[in-house]
Amino acid sequence: MTKVDLSDVCFLVHVRIDTVARQQNLEIIQEFYRKYADNTQFIFIEDDGEQKITKSVTLTEHDKYIFHENDGIYLRPKCYNIASKETDRPVIVSLDTDIIIHPKYMKMTADRLINEDNLAICYPYNGLFLNLYEHTKEEFMGTLDYEDLIKYRPESKQVNYSNGKVFVGHYDSVGGCVFFNHDRYNKFGGYNPMFKGWGYEDNEITIRTRALGYDI
C-alpha cells in the first residue's frame, strides 16, 4: 500500500473525553490516518477541567499536545485558533474525533488550497455523513481498513436512512473535517471565538469568509 504524503497538512483536534466512545474514537483516528498517510501532524488541544487524554494520544516528533483548562461549556472555536498558531504547515484542518475520510481525498483538497490563489476553505467530502452502528464500528476497529466502510454505502441520502450497517446522519454538512489555507485563515480571523459548544461556528465561518471575498 502506497501511503499519501500529508506533510503540508496539520490536523487540529479539539478534545474533551466525556464518554468511553470519544476516547475510542480519538485512538482510532490516530491509528487510521497514520496507517494511510506519511508525515501526519496532529495538534491535540484538550479543553477540560483536568487532563484525561494523555494515555489516549501517541505523539510523534511532529505532534503537539495543549491543555486548555476549562471546566465549563467547551470553547471549540477558541481552541482551534490557539492550536492553529502551533504549526507552520500551509494547510490546517479542524478535525472531529470521529471522522474518517480517506487521506487521498485530503491530499487532493490540500493541493487545491495551496495552488488556487483565492481558495480559503475546502471540504474533502460531499457533505454526506454516515454514522456507524456499534457492530460496524467494532468490525472497522479490528482492521482499520477503509474498504470496510465504503462497502456499506447506503442507497439513499435521506437523513436516518439505515441499511443495518450505517445510517445517514447528515447530507449537507459543512463541519467535521474542514480544510483551510493557513495564511488565509489568519487573514480572515479564524473561527469566531464568541461561539461556545459546537455546530453554529461551522456555518458562520463560511458566510464570513465569502463576505470577505474568499472562495470556498
Q: Which residues of 45-75 are buried (b: 16+ CB within 10 A; e: fewer)?
A: bbbbeeebbeebbeeeeebebbebeeeeebb
Range from 39-43, 91-95, 147-151, 174-178 carrying the lowest mean pLDDT: 147-151
CB-based contact 91:12 (threshold 8 Å): no
Residues 30-87 have pLDDT tens digits of 999 999 999 999 999 999 999 999 888 999 999 999 999 999 998 999 999 999 999 9
Instruction: Sketch the domain layout of the chain as residue ranges.
Output: 4-127+173-211
CA distances, 63 to each of 9, 59, 87, 89, 142 (Å): 12, 5, 9, 12, 25
Give the burial class of 104: count Cβ atoms within 10 A of its Cβ; 0-12 exposed, 13-18 middle, 19 or more buried.
Answer: middle
Q: What is the pLDDT of residues 179-212, one digit of tens each?
A: 999 999 999 999 999 998 877 899 999 999 999 9
The residue length of the chain stands at 216
Residue 174's pLDDT is what? 92
CATH architecture of the region 4-127+173-211: Alpha-Beta Complex (3.90)
> Three-class SS of residue 65?
strand
Residues 117-164: tens digit of each pLDDT: 999 999 999 999 999 999 999 999 999 999 988 898 888 888 999 999
C-alpha cell at 7: 506533510
pLDDT(114) > 90: yes
The pLDDT value recorded for residue 170 is 87
